[in-house]
Amino acid sequence: MDYKRYIAEKLSGDQLSAEEVSSALTVPPDPAMGDFALPCFRFAKIFRKSPALIAEELRARVPADGVIGEVSAVNGYLNFKLCKQRLAEETLARIFREGERYGSSDLGAGKTICIDYSSVNIAKPFHIGHLSTTVLGAALYRICKFLGYHTIGINHLGDYGTQFGKLISAYRRWGDRETVEKGGIRALNELYVRFHREAETDPALDDEARAYFKKIEEGDRECNELFAWFKELTLKDVQKIYDLLDVRFDSYAGESFYSDKMQPVIEELREKGLLKESNGAQIVDLEAYGMPPCLILKSDGSSLYATRDMAAAIYRKKTYDFYKCLYVVAYQQNLHFRQFFKVLELMGKEWAKDLVHVAYGMVSLEEGAMSTRKGNVVFLEDVIDKCIEKAYRIVDEKNPTLEHKEDVARKVGVGAVIFGALYNSKIKDITFSYDKVLNFDGETSVYVQYTCARASSVLSRAGALGEYTVPASPCDQESELVKALAEFPAVVVSAAEKYEPSYVARYCVDVAQKFNKFYFDCKILQAEEGLRAFRLALTEATLRVLKNALALLGIGVPEKM
């Protein structure tokens, strides 16, 4: 049952619609106040009465029944307590009926969402800075699919630009095939770093790099073979990380894919009178919209990110006819996205309103900042490996006889990396700490996974689960846990609407905390027979919901820890 809707329809009348009431209903901060509260202050102008009088008047419209257990008017708020028994019956029945699909819906049926995320740069290290875009985008991908959207994951590869001329120059000067084949992306990165170091004293190298990139653009066979090889080596290396993080894509169309699709965009801008010349470059003037000009072509005629991104957006609309197209990119690019979204709007693309920049904060290690050019980067693969190694040591110390410790350590270590990036609001900068993300007692994935292992252990010791009956008056710990489990479908929808997987991550911790309170305060296996069956059902339902929630984040659940 949709309880908010049920209450709203009871309260609706000549002066209030059910939609107005439903949108105003909130969850009180203190559970003792009720399960839902209606602040009546916002209705003072409609009723022309004080909020306290409005609350008293509305209370008469909602008598206690089999669904609502108690209604009270307190200081301008109308508070509702649901019938605990019915809420538990309906919630558990739905969880067991829907299983792995509990929390899903057909909200997005018939709609396509494109998600542009990870977007690794060819021949550059997949470093800690790529963590957020990768796991945030992948979580949104899973959440949207869970809600019935046709979801297209796009890895918009950074495979276009002068840096490839620099790499060809460096490889021809100092590289050899055997070393690069063996070293992969790290060997390529060493060449890239050396190029920048040498170019500081020999500026002619930059001219050479531009010449090599021009050869790529002109179709030079040897240069393009080297470029294709660099791309192959990069994708082979990064795939290992994607496999560890369980990240998938439907398209790897990168910047170079749009090299032959930019000219029509430039022509359309010219035909619509949007292009202007500025110091030899071609721009779109956005001063009227409070932004600097959007640079479309450099003075030498070469394209820029905005040109390619506009071509990509037009291609995606034609190819996928998206309902929304999300760009999971750091907040430093806010202006870039505002600019090219506005230019598309000025071109008359009414769907420009459906382009969304999902901005996120930066990730750094406690050691400090990084620079690809200077070579002080932290490879994401190294961060994941270190977390898995630390997780193995912790698991081995806590449970030396545990079987399949390597698999458990992998799930714990990888989960810690993902959860560490997703737990806080996406816009916040993150300082990654190994000790913090692997804390068994903190607000971490390890804590949630350990809670799942605890629930699995209880169920394993219980044996076959029989029929259960919900008691007429569940205790507070049971009721609070049931309420949390009932909220999961709404949490998933909110996470999708706000592009915030942190809602799901924080929900996991909240459910784990409520289960552990229930576990320590209430006897489960030792309870009398009827109550034992209900508490085991509640344990099983909790495990199912936590597994569903963690799966949306890309985190596995070990049966034992």
pLDDT in tens, 233-262: 999 989 999 999 999 999 999 898 998 899
Q: Residue 320 corresponds to which amino acid?
A: Y
Looking at residues 218-237, what average pLDDT do you find?
90
Least confident of 14-23, 50-59, 348-357, 484-493: 14-23
Domain ranges of the chain: 3-82, 263-302, 380-553
Looking at residues 464-489, what average pLDDT do you find?
93
Could you give the CA distance from residue 449 to residue 516 in angstroms, rounded to a whole number? 12
For 161, list phi and psi in degrees, rounded to 5: 135, 170
Which stretch, 50-54, 213-217, 366-370, has highest mean pLDDT? 50-54
- The H or E element that residue 82 is part of is strand 77-82
Handedness of CA 428, 432, 435, 440 (dihedral sign): positive
Query: With 70 as the cut, is the pLDDT of residue 114 above it?
Result: yes
Task: Give percent of the chain above pLDDT 70.
Answer: 98
Query: With 80 as the cut, is the pLDDT of residue 303 above it?
Result: no
| pLDDT interval class at 16 (50, 70, 90) | confident
Beta bridge partners of 284: 275, 294
For residue 74, the model assigns a pLDDT of 92
Looking at residues 24-44, what average pLDDT do you find?
90
Return all residues near 24 (Cβ < 8 A) that are at least 6 apart: 38, 39, 42
Query: With 90 as the cut, is the pLDDT of residue 31 above it?
Result: no
6 burial (CB, 10 Å; 0-12 / 13-18 / 19+) is middle
* Residue range 380-553, CATH number: 1.10.730.10
Q: Supply 457's token pair.
A: 């252990």
Query: With 50 as the cut, is the pLDDT of residue 372 above it?
Result: no
Could you give the CA distance from residue 324 to residue 497 in angstroms, rounded to a whole number? 11
For residue 530, the model assigns a pLDDT of 87
Say which CATH class 3-82 falls into.
alpha beta
For residue 376, the model assigns a pLDDT of 56
| pLDDT interval class at 110 (50, 70, 90) | very high
For 232, list phi and psi in degrees, rounded to 5: -60, -45
Query: With 80 as the cut, is the pLDDT of residue 373 above it?
Result: no
| pLDDT interval class at 14 (50, 70, 90) | confident
- Each as own residue / partner, the long-range contacts of residues 24-30 (CB below 8 Å, 24 or more positions apart, any chain) are 28/79
What confidence tens digit (pLDDT) does each residue in 519-536 have? 999 999 999 988 999 999
Identify the three-state secondary structure at position 93: helix
Query: With 80 as the cut, is the pLDDT of residue 163 above it?
Result: yes
Could you give the CA distance from residue 413 to residue 435 in angstroms, rounded to a whole number? 11
| pLDDT interval class at 367 (50, 70, 90) | low
Q: What is the DSSP string of 224-275?
A: HHHHHHHHHHHHHHHHHHHHHHT---SB---GGGGTTSSHHHHHHHHHTT-E
- The H or E element that residue 20 is part of is helix 18-24
| pLDDT interval class at 510 (50, 70, 90) | very high
For residue 144, the model assigns a pLDDT of 98
pTM: 0.91
Q: Supply 560's token pair.
A: 């034992």
For residue 404, the model assigns a pLDDT of 93
Cα torsion 539, 540, 545, 548 to 10°: value is: 140
